[in-house]
Amino acid sequence: MWLGKGGWLQVREFDRQVTAQRDANARLKARNDALDADVRDLKTGFEAIEERARAELGMIRQDEVFFQVQRTPPSAPPTPAETDATKSVPIRP
């Protein structure tokens, strides 16, 4: 009953394996749900496509003016005002 085939120790090990597999399945399901939502957004709307083009490719619209502020060299520590000013933001006229 304790050590044989189908005994308590084997059942306990199988129970641990089932719990670990359920946790892995839950993580993968959450990832798949996020990917599914992303695919649906890309198929149905242009907002998701535009967001990806801006974030991943650095694209801007034709009627926008893009300002990019270069950071100071690493030898001089930036001031708090410089840190806030180094963000790239497209500005629409």
pLDDT digits (tens, 9 = 90+) for 45-82: 788 788 888 888 888 888 888 777 888 776 666 666 55
* Contact between residue 60 and residue 90 where contact means Cβ atoms under 8 Å apart: yes
pTM: 0.48
Torsional class of 58: left (φ above 0), alpha (ψ -120 to 50), beta (otherwise): left
Of residues 25 and 82, more confidence is placed in 25
